Structure 1
Amino acid sequence: MLVTSATGAVVLSEPYTGVDVVDGKVAPTRTSAAMVSETYGRLLAMQPARPRVHIVYFEFGQSVPTPESQARLPRILAEVSALSAGEAVVIGHADRVGRAEANEQLSWQRANAIRELLVGAGLAREAITVFGRGEREPAVVTADNVPEPRNRRVELKLR
């Protein structure tokens, strides 16, 4: 980050650096994790927890998880069951094989399949947000009609 004034500029490129502006002049400053915790600890404690992200991969052209992902689902669903007042974001994706419209629909089907598993594990339906991205946000960029298993996925963000 670059902080500028009429009399100079300071580049902030390291943790716990900042600037003081006195009489229009910028001067670099340093702080520490302990000082940030002391000053802003209560505010930082109020932040929501970072989401835990799980990727579930799917069979070609289907809303059925791959065997590898199916093997991981019990652990993921146990984590969901342990959430006290959790929320989830479920984002379905598809590769670029086939028509874009069909891939859009398939991405929604995949996301909804995972949503139903989450509801079955005890997460309230209204705590789950579902999106279908079709082929628009690939994990691996490919040409059209190139199969890519890593793009046939659902991203599950739990908080």
Structure 2
Amino acid sequence: MRQSSRWLWVCALSLAACTRLTSHVVLLPGPDGRTGALLVTSVAGAVVLSEPYTGVDVVDGKVAPTRTSAAMVSEAYGRLLAMQPARPRVHIIYFEFGQSVPTPESKARLPRILTEVSALSAGEAVVIGHTDRVGRAEANEHLSWQRANVIRELLVGAGLGREAITIVGRGEREPAVVTADNIPESRNRRVELKLR
């Protein structure tokens, strides 16, 4: 091996020995100010984070608790956090039993929701239809699509482009309230509308 090649290998190995595998984890509060919990594990142990702005540094597999502040997070990650897309606004619209007609209470809320939709610039919507477990699963699948389509047409009428709307029918598969088969449950007869 030539002398210059040996020197390059020595430099590369020295640099590799200096690098340390490091991760930094900070638990942030949610938009409502509440904080959940996070379990951070490594080969050397585990730490539960449950308070806002607590964190850990994981260096070469060792977990070391840290504490930071809103100001420190803003300083270090403010630009990155500002680039996150806005959280979707979620509206639940309830429907009459066995129909694709919103309940009177939901009908009363629709004008406010549609005003919000018309104010969206370059917005998008996900419309997810659901049913309760009364009737055949295939019929409920079809009804959930009908409900989602009713809301899609209202969104289009409010100015949102059809291409910006995704509709899905979940039938009885994702209940808000779990029930036995053929039990009517008004909270499951719904459309979830997610606006961005």
The TM tier, using the shorter chain, reads over 0.9
Per-residue deviation at 1:67? 1.1
SS in 2 for 1:2: strand
Residues 1:31 and 1:136: Cα distance change in structure 2 (over 3 Å): same
Per-residue deviation at 1:64? 0.8
**Superposed CA RMSD:** 1.4
Residues 1:73 and 1:13: Cα distance change in structure 2 (over 3 Å): same
For residues 24-103 of structure 1, the aligned pairs below 5 Å read 24-103=61-140
Per-residue deviation at 1:142? 0.9
Aligned to 1:111: 148
Per-residue deviation at 1:111? 0.2
How many percent of aligned residue pairs carry the same amino acid?
91
**Distance between the aligned counterparts of 2:90 and 2:61, measured in 1?**
44
SS in 1 for 2:132: coil
Using structure 1 for the length normalisation, give the TM-score: 0.94
Larger Rg: 2
Question: What are the superposed Cα offsets for residues 100-137 of structure 1, whole Å, 9 maximum, x if unpaired?
Answer: 00000000000011000000000011111111000011
Residues 1:27 and 1:122: Cα distance change in structure 2 (over 3 Å): same
Q: How many residues align?
A: 159
Question: What are the superposed Cα offsets for residues 60-84 of structure 1, whole Å, 9 maximum, x if unpaired?
Answer: 1111111111111111100000001
Per-residue deviation at 1:143? 0.9
Per-residue deviation at 1:15? 2.0
Segment drifting more, 7-16 vs 29-38: 7-16
Per-residue deviation at 1:11? 2.4
Using structure 2 for the length normalisation, give the TM-score: 0.77
Aligned to 1:150: 187
Any gaps of 5 or more consecutive residues in structure 2?
A: 1-37
Question: What are the superposed Cα offsets for residues 24-73 of structure 1, whole Å, 9 maximum, x if unpaired?
Answer: 53211011111111111111111111111111111111111111111111
Residues 1:103 and 1:38: Cα distance change in structure 2 (over 3 Å): same
